[in-house]
């Protein structure tokens, strides 16, 4: 009966952050971000060795069978270090998609491949989550045609999972005939977006086993929103930590600038906004597994609230660094852009709050 | 994270809901704490204590319910009362600040003597902290207490003593060791407001009422054993109390109550028959605040767990007062906007009767500024967050101009 992390979870978060700190010093991050694909084979392998690929995959399918809170801690660590690694879509939403709408055979076939790091699934949710861009797919005679923009984790993906407007999802091989995937580098060079143009592509699987496909799709959306909220929490915490460290070391007027109330209060304001977000993300993640009646509401609220707090922290932390914060030299902008990305993906805060209102019956969808 | 409701918890939730349904007519209007509890409030308090919905974890020998500490139980109870918009009992300085202070550092005799009547709402306390010359710089307090034949003899002045005009008792921070350094010269005394030599002058505030007072002490005599901890320990005890005061001021259950009350107003059709909750721009304002209240409540659950496990929350605790009071004011701001021009009607009833909703919201909206300033102003909170929470250096001392100190 407690509200907090277990010892194992604390250890898991710390060891993942340690690994990422080791693998992603600024020069390495700068190099990896140049491609803009949001993927690096070596980092991907390393994360697999730490168990990230199969984190949410049930043990019977070769995974660790852990929960959404464990996944949120991983997302937080990835955001903290702005890691160019597929996660929210490829390792959380995709698993959730198979578990909520895949039949037993599809789960048996695909979940072990996800857990092994072999299937890296870019995921397109577009219209269902309120993302902007094209979202017009037709499934006719078992063939998929049309356009879907803004797929997450799509750079170097082996497969794409494209959601239809009715909540069903089609899995397509990346290089299959009729599939044109255009990589769009985003302002966040650690994560790309992919635009799909399909002309009679043949899905390798159609996830349609749920008797309420839209509800199943919303669960996938909510899992993704919690991960993006956790990612922002990590990125914003990184920016705050660095602002505090900088304020403790930079000297002007013969004093470290952190002794000036003007600077101190910027740091205090960031901490005041951000600290309650930690518990909010924990609860939103936990609710996905354990509190079904609140899961949708708190997922959307966490996504929206972290987007607002993240934006403030991103600005204030950059400001504390003065001109240096604006340069590429410190690399603070990687987290700044991470926060920028998280805000728009899977729906901006206004849309998320609207979904929270729908989830508690204040308004019709 | 384990928030699984056991059958015991489910039973408690049903029990509290049933209690509220059966007794809601007996409940006074939520809020208050700025007036002496009337008969209705005292009877309600007695009912809550009897059922363990108030002072649930305070030991029975001190007048509490004596239940073991369980974060979920406390959350279930708080949630049920805020959902129903029903008063969760009396929250005043004695109950929320002195009682936990005595539980932490008081003697057995002090606990047995003071906690019971205080939580029943019978004994009202006020706080003698600020002085005209020591507000944010609380440790600079100059009110003196000299020892003469077994008594402290108090002389000086306090200010912003809310509730002093109806309080029975005061906890007082005063200087008993003038030869010691600033922080080491203070003591924390307990004294009756009826003692000869105390004069209370009401201080009318922007609400039009006198919630605060100036309190003057002229040769006020208090037995030397009416002290919490020892002589010179006053700064330590005062900070224990401040810790609880700041938690009280940032209370997320109050935030939830306000959010729910505002939502209920927005669900009512206006003169044109339309509900504000159906309008996107109004709904989004409410939703933004709801997200923040959820964060505050989740954070509070985390702090309660850490407290129960003996973990010092540090930064997590330091932010509560600043975060909570600012959010409370924004909630009151939305409520005023929802009421619009009908919310401008303002007829405070003073001590005698309940205020109407519009007046209550206007008072809250203004009084919130007082709460943002009191208990350590937001600037003091940000110093604490920056220095103690984040490890930033203190502001260097500036020289005081000659002739001023």
HEC assignment per residue over chain B: CECCCCHHHHHHHHHHHHHHHHHHHHCCCCCCCCCCCCHHHHHHHHHHHHHCCCCCCCCHHHCCCCCCCCHHHHHHHHHHHHHHCCCCCCCCHHHHHHHHHHHHHCCHHHHHHHHHHHHCCCCCEEEECCECCECCCHHHCCCEEEEECCEEEEEEEEECCCCCCCCCEEEEEEECCCCCCCHHHEEEEEEECCCCCEEEEEECCCCCCCCEEEEEEEEEEEECCCECCCCCCHHHHHHHHHHHHHHHHCCHHHHHHHHHHHHHHHHCCCCCCCCHHHCHHHHHHHHHHHHHHHHHHHHHHHHHHHHHCCCCCCHHHHCHHHHHHHHHHHHHHHHHHHHHHHHHCCCCCCCCCCCCHHHHHHHHHHHHHHHHHCCCCHHHHHHHHHHHHCCCCCCCCCCCCCCCC
Q: Is the pLDDT of residue A79 over 80?
A: yes
**Are residues A337 and A319 located together in one domain of the fold?**
yes
Size of interface A-B (CB pairs under 8 A): 153
Mean pLDDT of A244-269: 97
Chain B's closest residue to A301, CA to CA, is: B291
A321–chain B nearest CA distance, Å: 15
Last residue of one domain, picked from the residues A59, A85, A115: A115
CATH architecture entry for B250-389: Up-down Bundle (1.20)
Write the CATH number for A302: 1.20.140.10
Instruction: Choose among B284, B379, B382: nearest Cβ to A350.
Output: B284
Domain presence at residue A1:
no
Task: Give the range of the structural domain holding residue A168, as residue numbers without chain letter.
Answer: 121-207
Tell whether ipTM is more than 0.90: yes
Superfamily of the domain at B125-232: Butyryl-CoA Dehydrogenase, subunit A, domain 2 (2.40.110.10)
Report the distance separating Cα B128 and Cα A291, nearest Å: 46
The whole-number pLDDT of residue B352 equals 66
Q: Is the pLDDT of residue B31 over 70?
A: no
Active site residue B354: no
**Are residues A148 and A110 located together in one domain of the fold?**
no
CB A91 within 8 A of CB A52: yes
The whole-number pLDDT of residue A364 equals 87
The whole-number pLDDT of residue A109 equals 98
The whole-number pLDDT of residue B351 equals 67
Q: Is the pLDDT of residue B84 over 70?
A: yes
Tens digits of per-residue pLDDT, A197-243? 999 999 999 999 989 999 999 999 999 999 999 999 999 999 999 99
Domain presence at residue A365:
no
Residue B302 to residue A255, Cβ atoms within 8 A: no
Q: Where in chain B is the domain with CATH 1.20.140.10?
A: 250-389
Q: Where in chain B is the domain with CATH 2.40.110.10?
A: 125-232
Question: Cα dihedral sign for A279, A283, A285, A286?
Answer: positive
Total of domains in chain A: 3
Strands A205-207, A169-173: pairing is antiparallel
The whole-number pLDDT of residue B16 equals 96
Domain presence at residue A275:
yes
**Are residues A240 and A340 located together in one domain of the fold?**
yes
**Are residues A35 and A139 located together in one domain of the fold?**
no
Last residue of one domain, picked from the residues A61, A95, A115: A115
Write the CATH number for A77: 1.10.540.10
What does A207-238 look like in DSSP terms, one character per residue?
E---SSHHHHHHHHHHHHHHHHHHHHHHHHHH
Confidence of residue A140 (pLDDT cuts 50, 70, 90): very high
Q: Provide, as residue numbers in chain B, all residues whose Cβ is less than 8 Å from the Cβ of A283.
A: 1, 294, 298, 301
Q: What percent of chain B has pLDDT over 90?
A: 77
Q: List own/partner pairs for B73-78 with CB under 8 A and 24 or more apart.
A: B73/B9, B73/B12, B74/B304, B75/B301, B75/B304, B76/B9, B76/B12, B76/B13, B76/B16, B77/B12, B77/B16, B77/B53, B78/B253, B78/B256
Q: Is the pLDDT of residue B405 over 60?
A: no
Mean pLDDT of B279-287: 97
**Are residues A51 and A152 located together in one domain of the fold?**
no
Write the CATH number for A176: 2.40.110.10
Low-confidence winner among A85-89, B39-43, B286-290 (lowest mean pLDDT): B39-43
Residue B323 to residue A272, Cβ atoms within 8 A: yes
Give residues 263 to 282 of B whose Cβ lies within 8 Å of A.
277-278, 280
Confidence of residue B83 (pLDDT cuts 50, 70, 90): confident
**Are residues A237 and A298 located together in one domain of the fold?**
yes
Tens digits of per-residue pLDDT, B140-163? 999 999 999 999 999 999 999 989
Question: Cα dihedral sign for B117, B122, B128, B130?
Answer: positive
Domain presence at residue A364:
no
**Are residues A224 and A174 located together in one domain of the fold?**
no
**Are residues A222 and A313 located together in one domain of the fold?**
yes
Q: Is B392 on the interface with A (CB under 8 A)?
A: yes
Higher pLDDT, B258 or B399: B258
Residue B296 to residue A276, Cβ atoms within 8 A: yes
Q: Is the pLDDT of residue A279 over 60?
A: yes
Chain A's closest residue to B279, CA to CA, is: A363
The whole-number pLDDT of residue A94 equals 98
Q: Provide, as residue numbers in chain A, all residues whose Cβ is less than 8 Å from the Cβ of B379.
A: 261, 265
**Are residues A140 and A253 located together in one domain of the fold?**
no
**Are residues A175 and A233 located together in one domain of the fold?**
no
The whole-number pLDDT of residue B248 equals 83
**Are residues A195 and A265 located together in one domain of the fold?**
no
Tens digits of per-residue pLDDT, A290-348? 999 999 999 999 999 999 999 999 999 999 999 999 999 999 999 999 999 999 999 99
Domain presence at residue A253:
yes
Last residue of one domain, picked from the residues A64, A81, A115: A115
Tens digits of per-residue pLDDT, B309-326? 889 999 999 999 999 999
The whole-number pLDDT of residue A20 equals 98
Mean pLDDT of B329-356: 90
Domain presence at residue A152:
yes
Q: Is the pLDDT of residue A76 over 70?
A: yes
Q: Provide, as residue numbers in chain B, all residues whose Cβ is less than 8 Å from the Cβ of A280.
A: 294-295, 298-299
Higher pLDDT, B351 or B37: B37
Tens digits of per-residue pLDDT, A144-159? 999 999 999 999 999 9
Q: Provide, as residue numbers in chain B, all residues whose Cβ is less than 8 Å from the Cβ of A244.
A: 390-392
Domain presence at residue A2:
no
Domain presence at residue A29:
yes
Residue A244 to residue B391, Cβ atoms within 8 A: yes
Instruction: Choose among A5, A277, A354: nearest Cβ to B295.
Output: A277
The whole-number pLDDT of residue B118 equals 97
Mean pLDDT of B38-53: 95
Confidence of residue B293 (pLDDT cuts 50, 70, 90): very high
Q: Provide, as residue numbers in chain A, all residues whose Cβ is less than 8 Å from the Cβ of B316.
A: 275
Helices (H), A116-160: 126-129
The whole-number pLDDT of residue B145 equals 96
Average confidence score pLDDT of chain A: 96
- Exactly one of B61, B211, B245, B395 is catalytic; which is it? B245
Report the distance separating Cα A63 and Cα A292, nearest Å: 23
Q: Is the pLDDT of residue B211 over 90?
A: no
**Are residues A278 and A230 located together in one domain of the fold?**
yes
Residue B315 to residue A280, Cβ atoms within 8 A: no
The whole-number pLDDT of residue B53 equals 97
């Amino acid at each position: 009966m407690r509200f907090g992390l277990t010892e194992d979870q604390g250890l898991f978060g710390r060891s993942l952050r340690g690994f990422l700190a080791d693998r992603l010093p600024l020069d390495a991050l700068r190099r990896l971000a140049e491609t803009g694909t949001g993927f690096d084979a070596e980092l991907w392998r390393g994360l697999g060795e730490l168990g990230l690929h199969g984190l949410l995959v049930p043990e019977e399918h070769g995974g660790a069978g852990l929960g959404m809170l464990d996944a949120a801690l991983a997302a937080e660590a990835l955001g903290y270090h702005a890691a160019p690694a597929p996660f929210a879509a490829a390792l959380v939403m995709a698993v959730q998609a198979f578990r909520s709408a895949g039949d037993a055979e599809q789960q048996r076939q695909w979940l072990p491949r996800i857990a092994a790091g072999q299937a890296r699934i870019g995921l397109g949710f577009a219209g269902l989550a309120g993302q902007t861009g094209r979202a017009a797919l037709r499934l006719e005679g078992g063939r998929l045609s049309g356009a879907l923009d803004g797929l997450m984790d799509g750079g170097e993906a082996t497969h794409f999972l494209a959601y239809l407007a009715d909540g069903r999802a089609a899995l397509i091989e990346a290089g299959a005939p009729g599939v044109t995937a255009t990589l769009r580098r985003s302002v966040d060079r650690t994560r790309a977006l992919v635009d799909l143009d399909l002309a009679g592509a043949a899905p390798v699987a159609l996830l349609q086993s749920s008797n309420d496909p839209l509800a199943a799709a919303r669960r996938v959306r909510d899992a993704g929103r919690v991960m993006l909220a956790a990612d922002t929490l990590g990125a914003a915490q990184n920016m705050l930590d660095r602002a505090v460290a900088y304020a403790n070391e930079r000297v002007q007027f013969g004093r470290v600038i952190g002794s000036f109330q003007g600077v101190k209060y910027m740091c205090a304001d960031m901490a005041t906004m951000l600290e309650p977000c930690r518990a909010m993300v924990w609860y939103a993640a936990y609710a996905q597994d354990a509190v079904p009646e609140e899961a949708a509401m708190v997922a959307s609220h966490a996504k929206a609230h972290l987007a607002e707090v993240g934006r403030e922290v991103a600005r204030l932390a950059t400001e504390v660094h003065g001109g240096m914060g604006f340069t590429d030299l410190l690399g603070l902008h990687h987290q700044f852009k991470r926060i920028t990305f998280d805000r728009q993906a899977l729906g901006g805060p206004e849309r998320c709050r609207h979904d929270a209102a729908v989830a508690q019956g204040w308004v019709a969808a | 994270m384990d928030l699984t409701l056991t059958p015991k918890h489910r039973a408690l939730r049903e029990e509290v809901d049933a209690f509220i349904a059966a007794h809601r007519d007996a409940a006074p209007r939520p809020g208050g704490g700025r007036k002496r509890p009337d008969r209705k409030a005292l009877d309600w308090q007695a009912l809550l204590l009897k059922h363990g919905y108030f002072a649930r974890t305070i030991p029975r020998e001190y007048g509490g319910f004596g239940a073991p500490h369980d974060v979920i139980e406390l959350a279930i109870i708080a949630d049920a009362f805020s959902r129903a918009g029903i008063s969760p009992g009396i929250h005043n300085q004695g109950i929320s600040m002195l009682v936990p202070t005595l539980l932490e550092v008081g003697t057995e005799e002090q606990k047995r003597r003071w906690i019971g009547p205080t939580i029943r709402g019978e004994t009202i306390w006020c706080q003698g902290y600020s002085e005209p010359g020591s507000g944010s710089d609380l440790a600079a307090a100059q009110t003196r207490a000299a020892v003469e034949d077994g008594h402290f003899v108090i002389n000086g002045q306090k200010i912003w003593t809310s509730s002093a005009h109806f309080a029975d008792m005061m906890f007082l921070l005063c200087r008993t060791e003038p030869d010691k350094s600033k922080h080491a010269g203070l003591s924390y005394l307990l004294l009756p407001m009826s003692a000869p030599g105390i004069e209370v002058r009401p201080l009318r505030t922007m609400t039009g009422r006198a919630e605060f007072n100036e309190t003057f002490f002229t040769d006020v005599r208090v037995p030397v054993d009416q002290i919490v901890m020892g002589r010179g320990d006053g700064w330590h005890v005062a900070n224990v109390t401040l810790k609880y005061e700041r938690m009280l001021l940032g209370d997320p259950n109050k935030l939830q109550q306000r959010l729910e009350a505002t939502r209920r107003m927005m669900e009512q059709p206006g003169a044109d028959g339309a509900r504000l909750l159906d309008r996107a721009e109004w709904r989004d304002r409410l939703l933004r605040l709801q997200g923040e209240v959820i964060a505050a409540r989740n954070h509070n659950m985390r702090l309660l767990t850490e407290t129960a496990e003996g973990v010092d929350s540090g930064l997590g605790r330091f932010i509560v007062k600043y975060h909570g009071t600012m959010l409370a004011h924004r909630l009151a701001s939305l409520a005023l906007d929802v009421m619009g021009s009908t919310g401008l009607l303002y007829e405070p009833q003073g001590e005698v009767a309940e205020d109407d909703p519009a007046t209550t919201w206007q008072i809250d909206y203004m009084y919130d500024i007082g709460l943002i300033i009191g208990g350590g102003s937001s600037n003091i909170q940000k110093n604490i967050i920056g220095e103690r929470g984040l490890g930033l250096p203190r502001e260097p001392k500036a020289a005081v101009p000659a002739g001023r100190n």
